[in-house]
Structure 1
């Protein structure tokens, strides 16, 4: 699975392109390669592949350190995810010097010094799976979903220390900062291992709104299905989200807490030919 992230700049130890500043900084696009456990750096303008960075240099060590319960959980998560997922989300610090990676199946978050190609810190996430993450606009906090314990963990990006742990819906998934950086939206998808006929048993599918400074829960929105990718308008009044089992998206009023529009998307011929 490929996960795409963008960053303003990165210190890549590569010669800068014509017209770029002599600082060694350049615009890049990050692609997290989940199976290989690497991050590819693409030029932010030409999309040429600049090289890759190994984000699982300690894989053998991590696997060897697992106790029998952790190893069994690792195998179960790996089976449910359809294989290895070592780069669930990737971010760069604002100065482009540090790469942060949520390593899903390894249940941790790590920070790498790009210039030195060394691991700065590692944080073990509660439960058995780390999921999507978000970096605060000022780069000082990283929030990551601890899927199996229904929590969102807030980390100090300088040290990897746990700053806060916030209750969420069942199987928290995405994290998104508001445009002004004052709120965090955590979206949960429910227990994905269960089939649709057992939707009632999947748990709470919520959007949890968190104060980005105090990490107090400000409000929750309940949905009938899991909340998949979502975007939030800059004024904080509207969310557009794709929901589980919906081939389309909804427009959701964050003031009234109601769906205002459901927009179905057309199936391709290949999609129409699929059977359940």
Structure 2
């Protein structure tokens, strides 16, 4: 059994459970597609990928019936069709009241690509194990972010028998954008855009997973040594460490807002579903607690 470890001169920033995302708007609910830049399906030409489920987006009428069936009575269905028709006509569905307006309706309501990749681009090299529709139920996938690299690990869904396999990796510099996607059930979806303009839409195990991996990818972290912190900041870090119950790794960074984030990664415990959990404190110049600002977390 093997547990992945960063190189001696490498700093681990996050390790969290992720998979390819899944559509939530009624026409694409439960679905995902792998596309080239002309919207052709490419899942059958991705090298080494096993066969997976085939999806067809629902028509407006199918979406209406799916929503209306929740009421369980014909007259209620008839009464709601007009409302649902107006929502569907705007490229939205009944999900909108719950999830808000999609930022990218062509990729969130009309279609739901989780890979957008021309031939030879980085996104096409991602492993098929990220797809919940292909991988066995006994397997999980984690996204690892360090100060140098981004990796995908495969591992068994057994916390008593960790056995990491590196399925894919790329340089941190190959990712140009990490964007949290608002139109997402439970707020777990995010998009990674590579420098070659290919992209993937992934989902964290929960919101914390999404935030942990996107934070160091959205902006290159400005890492700070504990010895370079002010006396007040060092006291705040000491208090953070004193409340920990097991070994782990401390990472301190200066955020885009100017605040300082001390993040304690509980690296001794790796959950197959979640990954590595953490505890943190966000502080000002003298170690005082500060309110969150854009880019802090």
Task: Please say which structure displays the higher CA radius of gyration.
Answer: 2
Determine if the TM-score, normalized by the shorter chain, exceeds 0.5.
no
Q: Which has the higher contact order (CA 8 A, sep 6+)?
A: 2
TM-score by length of 1: 0.26
TM-score by length of 2: 0.25
Larger strand percent: 1
Larger helix percent: 2
